[in-house]
Amino acid sequence: MTRFTKMHGLGNDFVVLDSVRQSLELAPAQIRALADRHFGIGCDQVLVVEPPRRPGADFFYRIFNADGSESGQCGNGARCFARFVRDQGLTDKERLTVDTRDGTLELAFLPDGQVRVDMGAPRLEPREIPFIAAARAGVYVLPLATETLAIGAVSLGNPHAVTLVEDVDSAPVAELGPQVARHPDFPEGVNVGFLQVLAADLVRLRVFERGVGETLACGSGACAAVVCARLWGLLDERVQVELPGGTLTIEWAGGTAPVWMTGPAVRVFEGEIAL
Ligand SMILES: N[C@@H](CCC[C@H](N)C(=O)O)C(=O)O
């Protein structure tokens, strides 16, 4: 039997597995089975916590989408990872350095129980996202089946496309989300954010996630949306991002400064499952 913890960050939910004290190597079919909401535990992502792979790092953590694909970044997952390693007694540190497949995160526990994460500097060059474009631009015009869509594109360790909408409640997330997420100009797929700007320090966001579908919140998507809208001149340095599952605080000073994300991480229940 394999021990697991069910967690969530603003309703973006996770099955978290300890691969420090138990040895785990999961096949994509096993990830899909764990994530299945009818026949498994159910989650948007499976997070696997591993020992560090280099001196200076506290842990390595891997992120798998519900469809079994692997990603290099998960903002809500990073906060849940931090709470998990503390709750499980794997560390008593107040600050953590954790490596993922595609980068390094710095995390700190705040006195109010929230977790603050240094998500690293945004990567805007098309080849870093990766995104097929002639040159870097603030806005790209993406051809879709029946229309074109104006998007910003950025990597926070995983690829994001962000488009502005007038009203996030009626945004065509279900229609356009899958088309953009699997667009051939994003060779590794992309997470798709639909962003409504209410004020220079307040936005609303829905995200159609690569490998999952629409989720109640996406931490890296919130960071990507703020980066794009800051580059479009629409936002201040510190922004409240309202997602269907709750609110994140995102800060970005611009340029090569890191993006900071602050929000909650909640343990729901623990159990054992046969893999
Ligand atoms: N929910 C996450 C992002 C998870 C990975 C994403 N679906 C991808 O494939 O890159 C977040 O909170 O950032």
Q: Where are the domains of the chain?
A: 2-118+264-273, 126-257
| 65 annotated binding-site participant | yes
Per-residue model confidence (pLDDT) at position 166:
98
Atom of ligand 1 nearest to the CA of 209: 7
Mean pLDDT, range 37-60, rounded to an integer: 97
Contact 153/163 with Cβ under 8 angstroms? no
Indicate if 74 belongs to the active site: yes
12 annotated binding-site participant: yes
Per-residue pLDDT tens digits for 209-245: 999 999 999 999 999 999 999 999 999 999 999 999 9
**Spatial separation of the C-alpha atoms in residues 260 and 105, rounded to whole Å:** 10
Per residue in 72-109, pLDDT (tens digit) is: 999 999 999 999 999 999 999 999 999 999 889 999 99
Reported confidence tier of residue 55, pLDDT bands at 50, 70, 90: very high
Annotated catalytic residue, options 80, 218, 223, 228: 218
* pLDDT tens readout for residues 25-47: 899 999 999 999 999 999 999 99
Torsion of CA 19, 269, 13, 245, to 10 degrees: -150
- pLDDT tens digits, one per residue of 14-25: 999 999 998 898
Placement of tokens 């913890």 in the chain: 5
Q: Specify the pLDDT at position 275.
A: 86
Per-residue confidence (pLDDT) for residue 61, from 0 to 100: 95
Average pLDDT over residues 151-158: 98
Residue 10 CB less than 6 A away from ligand 1: no
pLDDT on residue 181: 98
Q: Report the mean per-residue pLDDT for the chain.
A: 97
Percentage of the chain modeled with pLDDT above 90:
97
Q: What CATH class has 126-257?
A: alpha beta
Radius of gyration over every alpha carbon of the chain, rounded to an integer in angstroms: 18
Residue among 43, 74, 80, 223 flagged as catalytic = 74
Q: How far apart are CA 19 and CA 149, in angstroms?
A: 42
For 2-118+264-273, CATH number?
A: 3.10.310.10
pLDDT of residue 23: 85
> Does the annotation list 158 as a binding residue?
yes
211 in contact with ligand 1, CB cutoff 6 A: yes
Q: Give the pLDDT band of residue 253 (cuts 50, 70, 90).
A: very high
One fold for 2-118+264-273 and 126-257: yes
The reported pLDDT for the residue numbered 86 is 97
What is the C-alpha separation between 125 and 256, in angstroms, rounded?
A: 12
pTM over 0.95: yes
Token duo for residue 17:
């597995």
